[in-house]
C-alpha cells in the first residue's frame, strides 16, 4: 500500500551507491522485479522496481564493498545476477564481487540480442565483444564466436542462471529470442523439431535460430537441406501481404547469415554460391538421357542457363509426353529436378542483379568454381566485372576487356559486377554497348543498357530531390511495382528502401495512404530523400554513393511510368530516352538501314512514302507535313526478329524499335488502315 513517501520515490530518476542497491534488494525479499515501467504503479514491488532501475554505482563503490554488503544482507550470488540483469549498470561490479568470470560478456550477449533500444553506453560495451552492428544484432544477427566464448568462460551452470535472469532485460518477451539462439547454438534443440515448429507457426525467431543448430554427422548434406528449406520458406512468403513478405524476407536473410557463420562461410554470398553449385552436382545424373519405354528422357540446360525436359524417340524429338510416361516415377523425379533448376535460375538472376546494386565483391577463385555450374555460369559470363579499376568479362582466371586485352587475375583478387556508374566513369560504356550488339549477347538483366541517374547541380547540396514532384500516382500500384525492388511501405514515413551495409534509408514521400485504396484524388509525389539509419538525420545527396542514388531514382522513375494516375502519361525520363537512343543506333546497322537518325527525343525516318518522327518516350508517330499516325501495338513475349541485349521484358522499348523498323520500310506496309493515314 502507498505511504507518505511513495509519490516522492516514484519521482526519483537516480539513486546512488552499493548500500542503497543492497537495501532495495533486502526490501524486495523473494519478490520478483516488475520489468515494464508502465506497470510499476504505486505498489511496493512497483516502487522498488523503479528505484532498482534508477540505482547507479558511486565512483567510490568497489567489488569488495559490494561483496561484503551482500554477505551481511544474505543476498545470494544468483539474486545479485538477477538484479544486475535488471539494472545493467551493476553488471561489471557484480562480476568482480561474486567472482563469476565471463558474467559481463554473457549478460551483454542477452542484452545485445533483445530487439529493444540500446543507449550509447550499452552499444559501446557490446562493441567490445562483437564486430556485428548493434542494430543488426537487434534484428536477429548472431555472433557465434561471442556466444561460444561467453558460454565456455562462465560455464554451463552459471550460464543457466544468466539465462533464467534474462527475463528481466525486456518489458516484453523479446528476450526469448536470445534464449532460442542460445538453445540452438548449444544443440539443446533438434533441427528437425525446430523445422516442424517453423512449418506449423512460421515463427521468425525460430527461423533465425534454425541455422545456428550444430550440423550433424553429415554436415554437408544437412547444410544443403537447411539452405533449401530457407529458400522454400522465402518463396512461400509471396502468398502474404507486402509487409509480412518484407519481414519474412528479412528473417530469411538473417537466418542465412546465421547459417553462413555457423558453417564457416562467413557471409551469405559465399554460402549461396557454394550451395547452388552443390545443388547442381546432385542433379547432374538427370542431365544425361535415360531410356523409359523406348523414349529417351532428360533435362537439358540451354546456353542461357534455362532448363527444359527433352524426350527423344528414334532420334526425333517429341513435342508432348505420352500419358503413360507422365505417371512413371522417374518422370516425376525429372519434373522435380526441372523445377529446382528453374528456381535456381530465377534466384541466381535476382541475386546477380542485387549483387551489382549492393557492390558485392567476389574472389576470383569463387568465380572460377562457378564456371562448373551450368545454370549460373551462362548468366555470369555475359556480365561486365570491375577489378582494380579495370573492366571486362571474366573467364577462367582472366578479365577480358572490351578491346580484347586479357588481364590475368590472382585467386584472391576481388571483383564485382560493374554498375553503369563504373562504365560511365571508365569511358568504355558505349564500347560495351556496341560489343553486345555486334556479338548478339543477351545479358541476364539490364546492366550495360541500364538507365543511369546522376544528381543535378541543384540536387548535390540539397537533402531532397524534387525531380519527380507533381506526378500523380496510384498508391497500391506503386507499392506492387516497387515490392520486388526491396521497397516497403511504412505507415508514417511512406515508401522506404533500407541499405543496411551503408546505413542509409531512402524514402519516397507523398501524401498517400499506401495501405488502402484511395477514393479521393490520386496523391502527388513530393520528394525523395535519404536518412541515416543510425540517427535518422537527413543526408545531403552528395553524401549518397552514386550507385544507390542511381538505383533509387531508377525505381522512382519506374513507379512514375507504370503507376501514374490520370489520362496523360508522364514524360519519359532523359535516362530512358538515352538508353533507347543507343539501342536504335545499334539496331539500325543490323537491318542495313541508313534512313534513320536520332534527333533529341525523336527517331527521324526518311521513308519512300513520307518522312516520320517517332518519339522515343511515348512511341507516338507523326508524319512530317501530316498528322499523327495511329498504330496499335500488339505486345507479345515472342520477340520475333527483334534483338534486345537483355533478358528483362521491356515491351515499350520493343514496341518503339518495331515501329521504327516498320516505317523505315514503309514501302512494304500492306495494312490499309495505316496506308490510308500516310499522305
In a 3-state reduction of DSSP, which class is residue 242?
A: helix
Question: Rounded mean pLDDT of 235-254?
Answer: 86
Q: Which fold has domain 457-562?
A: TATA-Binding Protein (3.30.310)
* Cβ atoms of 77 and 103 closer than 8 Å: no
Instruction: Pick 127 or 482 by higher pLDDT.
Output: 482
Answer yes or no: is pLDDT of 79 > 80.
Answer: yes
Q: Would you state the pLDDT for residue 52?
A: 84
Q: Which of 236, 177, 162, 169 is nearest to 212 (CA)?
A: 177
| Model confidence pLDDT, tens digit, residues 562-585 | 777 655 556 666 678 888 888 888
Per 3-state DSSP, the chain is made up of helix, strand and coil in percentages (nearest 5) of: 50, 15, 35
Sort strands 390-395 and 384-387 into parallel, antiparallel or unpaired.
antiparallel
Question: Rounded mean pLDDT of 506-534?
Answer: 72
pLDDT band of 97, cuts 50, 70, 90: very high
Query: pTM for this structure?
Result: 0.69
Sort strands 307-313 and 295-301 into parallel, antiparallel or unpaired.
antiparallel
* Cβ atoms of 422 and 391 closer than 8 Å: yes
CA dihedral 529, 532, 535, 540 (to 10 degrees): -60
Residue ranges of alpha helices (H) inside 55-100 are: 63-72, 77-86, 91-98
**For residue 56, what are the contacts with CB-CB under 8 A and spacing of at least 6?**
14, 15, 16, 89
Separation of alpha carbons 336 and 344, rounded Å: 12
Q: Which of 117, 69, 72, 114 is nearest to 90 (CA)?
A: 69
Answer yes or no: is pLDDT of 456 > 80.
Answer: yes
Instruction: Select, from the ranges 96-105, 133-142, 166-175, the one with the highest average predicted confidence (pLDDT).
Output: 96-105
Separation of alpha carbons 522 and 525, rounded Å: 10
Q: Is residue 618 classed exposed, middle or buried when 0-12, 13-18 and 19+ CB atoms within 10 A define those classes? A: middle
Percentage of residues of the chain with pLDDT beyond 70: 88
Separation of alpha carbons 199 and 207, rounded Å: 9
Nine-digit cell string for 453:
541517374
**For residue 174, what are the contacts with CB-CB under 8 A and spacing of at least 6?**
114, 115, 116
In a 3-state reduction of DSSP, which class is residue 545?
A: coil
3-state SS string for 579-638: HHHHHHHHHHHHHCCCCEEEECCEEEEECCCCEEEEECCCCCEEECCCCEECCCCCCCCC
Other C-beta atoms closer than 10 Å to the C-beta of 171 total 14
Least confident of 116-125, 376-385, 421-430: 116-125
Q: Would you state the pLDDT for residue 644?
A: 67
Instruction: Pick 492 or 526 by higher pLDDT.
Output: 526
Angle between helices 242-262 and 268-283 in degrees, nearest 10: 90
pLDDT band of 447, cuts 50, 70, 90: very high
Question: Rounded mean pLDDT of 521-525?
Answer: 70
Q: Would you state the pLDDT for residue 667?
A: 87
- Longest CA span, the chain: 108
Residue with cell 505420352: 322
Sign (positive or negative) of CA dihedral 238, 239, 242, 244? negative
| Model confidence pLDDT, tens digit, residues 190-200 | 999 999 999 99
Answer yes or no: is pLDDT of 105 > 50.
Answer: yes
Angle, CA 600 vertex, CA 599 and CA 605 arms, to 5°:
30
Q: Would you state the pLDDT for residue 4?
A: 60
Instruction: Pick 242 or 539 by higher pLDDT.
Output: 539
Answer yes or no: is pLDDT of 455 > 50.
Answer: yes
Q: Would you state the pLDDT for residue 519?
A: 45
Mean pLDDT in the chain?
A: 84
Instruction: Pick 115 or 68 by higher pLDDT.
Output: 68
* Cβ atoms of 553 and 547 closer than 8 Å: no
Answer yes or no: is pLDDT of 516 > 60.
Answer: no
Nine-digit cell string for 428:
568504355
Instruction: Pick 124 or 383 by higher pLDDT.
Output: 383
Answer yes or no: is pLDDT of 637 > 50.
Answer: no
Question: Rounded mean pLDDT of 248-269?
Answer: 86
Question: Rounded mean pLDDT of 431-453?
Answer: 90
Whole-angstrom CA distances from 657 to 22, 465, 653 are 81, 32, 6
* Cβ atoms of 299 and 341 closer than 8 Å: yes
pLDDT band of 227, cuts 50, 70, 90: very high
Q: Would you state the pLDDT for residue 41?
A: 62
| Strand-by-strand arrangement of the 621-623 sheet | 596-599, 602-606, 611-615, 621-623, 628-629
Q: Would you state the pLDDT for residue 638?
A: 42
pLDDT band of 471, cuts 50, 70, 90: confident
Q: Would you state the pLDDT for residue 170?
A: 67
| Phi, psi (deg, nearest 5) at residue 496 | -130, 145
Least confident of 103-112, 190-199, 315-324, 446-455: 315-324
Instruction: Pick 283 or 175 by higher pLDDT.
Output: 283
Residue ranges of alpha helices (H) inside 186-241 are: 191-201, 204-210, 219-236
Other C-beta atoms closer than 10 Å to the C-beta of 566 total 12
Answer yes or no: is pLDDT of 115 > 70.
Answer: no
First to last CA, the chain: 98
Domain positions in the chain are: 1-74, 100-188, 191-262, 457-562, 574-675
Answer yes or no: is pLDDT of 641 > 50.
Answer: no
Amino acid at each position: 500500500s502507498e505511504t507518505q513517501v511513495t509519490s516522492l520515490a516514484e519521482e526519483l530518476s537516480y539513486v546512488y551507491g552499493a548500500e542503497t542497491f543492497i537495501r532495495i534488494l533486502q526490501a524486495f525479499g523473494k519478490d520478483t522485479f516488475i520489468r515494464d515501467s508502465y506497470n510499476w504503479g504505486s505498489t511496493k514491488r512497483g516502487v522498488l522496481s523503479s528505484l532498482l532501475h534508477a540505482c547507479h554505482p558511486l565512483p567510490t563503490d568497489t567489488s569488495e564493498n559490494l561483496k561484503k554488503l551482500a554477505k551481511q544482507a544474505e543476498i545470494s550470488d544468483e539474486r545479485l545476477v538477477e538484479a544486475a540483469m535488471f539494472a545493467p549498470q551493476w553488471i561489471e561490479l557484480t562480476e568482480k564481487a561474486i567472482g563469476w568470470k565471463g558474467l559481463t560478456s554473457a549478460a551483454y550477449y542477452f542484452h545485445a540480442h533483445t530487439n529493444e533500444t540500446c543507449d550509447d553506453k550499452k552499444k559501446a560495451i557490446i562493441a567490445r565483444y562483437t564486430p556485428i552492428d548493434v542494430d543488426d544484432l537487434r534484428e536477429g544477427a548472431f555472433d557465434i564466436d561471442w556466444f561460444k566464448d561467453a558460454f565456455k568462460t562462465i560455464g554451463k551452470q552459471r550460464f543457466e542462471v544468466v539465462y533464467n535472469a534474462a527475463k528481466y532485460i525486456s518489458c516484453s518477451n523479446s528476450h526469448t529470442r536470445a534464449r532460442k539462439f542460445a538453445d540452438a547454438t548449444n544443440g539443446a534443440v533438434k533441427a528437425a523439431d525446430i523445422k516442424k515448429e517453423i512449418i506449423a507457426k512460421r515463427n521468425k525467431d525460430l527461423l533465425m535460430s534454425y541455422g545456428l543448430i550444430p550440423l550433424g554427422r553429415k554436415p554437408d548434406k544437412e547444410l544443403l537441406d537447411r539452405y533449401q528449406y530457407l529458400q522454400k520458406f522465402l518463396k512461400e512468403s509471396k502468398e502474404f501481404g507486402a509487409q509480412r513478405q518484407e519481414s519474412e524476407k528479412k528473417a530469411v536473410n538473417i537466418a542465412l547469415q546465421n547459417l553462413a557463420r555457423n558453417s564457416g562461410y562467413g557471409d551469405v554470398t559465399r554460402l549461396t554460391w557454394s550451395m547452388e553449385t552443390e545443388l547442381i552436382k546432385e542433379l547432374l545424373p538427370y542431365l544425361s538421357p535415360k531410356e523409359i519405354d523406348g523414349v529417351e528422357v532428360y533435362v537439358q540446360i540451354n546456353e542461357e542457363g534455362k532448363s527444359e525436359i527433352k524426350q527423344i524417340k528414334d532420334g526425333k524429338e517429341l513435342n508432348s509426353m505420352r500419358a503413360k510416361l507422365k505417371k512413371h516415377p522417374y518422370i516425376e523425379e525429372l519434373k522435380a529436378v526441372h523445377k529446382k533448376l528453374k528456381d535456381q535460375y530465377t534466384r541466381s538472376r535476382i541475386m546477380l542483379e542485387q549483387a551489382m546494386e549492393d557492390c558485392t565483391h567476389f574472389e576470383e577463385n569463387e568465380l572460377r568454381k562457378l564456371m562448373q555450374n551450368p545454370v549460373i555460369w551462362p548468366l555470369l559470363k555475359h556480365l561486365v566485372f570491375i577489378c582494380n579499376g579495370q573492366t571486362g568479362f571474366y573467364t577462367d582466371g582472366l578479365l577480358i576487356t572490351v578491346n580484347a586485352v586479357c588481364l590475368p587475375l590472382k585467386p584472391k583478387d576481388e571483383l564485382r559486377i560493374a554498375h553503369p556508374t563504373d562504365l560511365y566513369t571508365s569511358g568504355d560504356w558505349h564500347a560495351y554497348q556496341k560489343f553486345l550488339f555486334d556479338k548478339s549477347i543477351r545479358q541476364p538483366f539490364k546492366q550495360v543498357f541500364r538507365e543511369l541517374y546522376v544528381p543535378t547541380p541543384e540536387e548535390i547540396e540539397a537533402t531532397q530531390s524534387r525531380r519527380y514532384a507533381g506526378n500523380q500516382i496510384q498508391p497500391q500500384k506503386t507499392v506492387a511495382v516497387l515490392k520486388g525492388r526491396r521497397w516497403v511501405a511504412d505507415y508514417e514515413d511512406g515508401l522506404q528502401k533500407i541499405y543496411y551495409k551503408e546505413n542509409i534509408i531512402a524514402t519516397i514521400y507523398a501524401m498517400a495512404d499506401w495501405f488502402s485504396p484511395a477514393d479521393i484524388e490520386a496523391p502527388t509525389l513530393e520528394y525523395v530523400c535519404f536518412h541515416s539509419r543510425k540517427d535518422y538525420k537527413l543526408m545531403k545527396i552528395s553524401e549518397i554513393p552514386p550507385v544507390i542514388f542511381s538505383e533509387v531514382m531508377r525505381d522512382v522513375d519506374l513507379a512514375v511510368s507504370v503507376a501514374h494516375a490520370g489520362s496523360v502519361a508522364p514524360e519519359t525520363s532523359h535516362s530512358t530516352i538515352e538508353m533507347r537512343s543507343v539501342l536504335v543506333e545499334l539496331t539500325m546497322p543490323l537491318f542495313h538501314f541508313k534512313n534513320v537518325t536520332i534527333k533529341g527525343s525523336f527517331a527521324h525516318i526518311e521513308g519512300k512514302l513520307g518522312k516520320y518522327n517517332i518519339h522515343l518516350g511515348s512511341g507516338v508517330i507523326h508524319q512530317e507535313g501530316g498528322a499523327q499516325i495511329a498504330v496499335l501495338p500488339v505486345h507479345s513475349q515472342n520477340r520475333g526478329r527483334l534483338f534486345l541485349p537483355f533478358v528483362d521484358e521491356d515491351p515499350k522499348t520493343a514496341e518503339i524499335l518495331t515501329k521504327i523498323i516498320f516505317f523505315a520500310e514503309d514501302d512494304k506496309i500492306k495494312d490499309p488502315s495505316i496506308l490510308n493515314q500516310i499522305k
